[in-house]
Structure 1
Amino acid sequence: MQIANIELTKLYYSIGEVADMFDVNASLIRFWEKEFSVIKPKKNKKGNRMFTPNDIRNFEKIYQLVKHKGFTLDGAKKELSKKNEKLPLNLEVMERLEKLKLKLLALKVDVE
């Protein structure tokens, strides 16, 4: 599961879309929203949660820590708070590098 490869082009995503991205139930998304302060979805007039690309990146970090690395929720919270200052910059750099890589690969195909 790597959301980093998915281009997040919309301003907001519904809870169903986020749940589909991570192949989890919407209830887990709501639960993690309550447990982790880094996830702050907006709510529309109907009260539906609208997640930003930044929220989705935070979900990805949490998902990796809990589902792949076996962290407890408390452990994941501590890990996120330790890395909170460095992660946004590192993630932004990685996304830019990934886009650059795709452009270079496209140029390589055009040249051949």
Structure 2
Amino acid sequence: MPYRETKIEKLYYSIGEVAEMFSVNTSHIRYWEKEFDIIKPKKNKKGNRFFTKADIDNFHLIYHLVKERGMTLNGAKLKLKENKEDTQNNFDVVSRLKDIKNLLLEMKEMI
């Protein structure tokens, strides 16, 4: 049986890693953390922030509303307070459709 490496998923991400995921500055991440109540990173004694997978998912949602849909921060806050579940479902559908589009484009390139 061939050796297969198991994929290890991290439990915590540093602020630098999160900023790199979204191609923004670390100050941007700190600002969103201050503005949105749904982002609650763990902090160690030195004050370093460690973000969980749930925080990353919330960042994806906020990024989608603010950067991709062009909402203001106040508009995004209201949207998340009013109906976060519906917003999350819409985001999931959009991301799945993007994945399908990319798959179809790859298939088209192969033909």
Under a length normalisation based on structure 1, what TM-score does the superposition of the two structures give?
A: 0.69
Shift of 1:82: 2.2
Deviations 1:58-107 (A, max 9, x none): 0010001000100000000011112324566x49x88xx9xxxxxxxxxx
CA distance in 2, matches of 1:32, 1:50: 14
Q: Which one-letter code corresponds to 2:10 in the other structure?
A: K
Corresponding position: 1:35 with 2:7: no
Q: Which one-letter code corresponds to 1:59 in the other structure?
A: F
User: Residue 11 of structure 1 contacts residue 52 of structure 1 at CA under 8 Å; is this kept in 2?
Assistant: yes
Q: Give 5+ residue unaligned stretches, structure 1.
A: 1-6, 98-112
Shift of 1:44: 1.1
Q: Describe the shift of the 1:80–1:16 C-alpha distance in structure 2 as closer, same or farther (beyond 3 A).
A: same
Corresponding position: 1:26 with 2:26: yes
User: Residue 43 of structure 1 contacts residue 50 of structure 1 at CA under 8 Å; is this kept in 2?
Assistant: yes
CA distance in 1, matches of 2:60, 2:47: 24
Residues 39-58 of structure 1 aligned to structure 2 (within 5 Å): 39-58=39-58
Aligned-residue CA RMSD in angstroms?
2.6
Q: Give 5+ residue unaligned stretches, structure 2.
A: 1-6, 97-111
CA distance in 2, matches of 1:8, 1:63: 25
Shift of 1:19: 0.1
Shift of 1:45: 1.9
Residues 81-92 of structure 1 aligned to structure 2 (within 5 Å): 81-86=81-86, 90=89
Residue 12 of structure 1 is matched in structure 2 by 12
Q: Which has the higher contact order (CA 8 A, sep 6+)?
A: 1
CA distance in 2, matches of 1:20, 1:38: 20
Q: Which one-letter code corresponds to 2:59 in the other structure?
A: F
Residue 67 of structure 1 is matched in structure 2 by 67
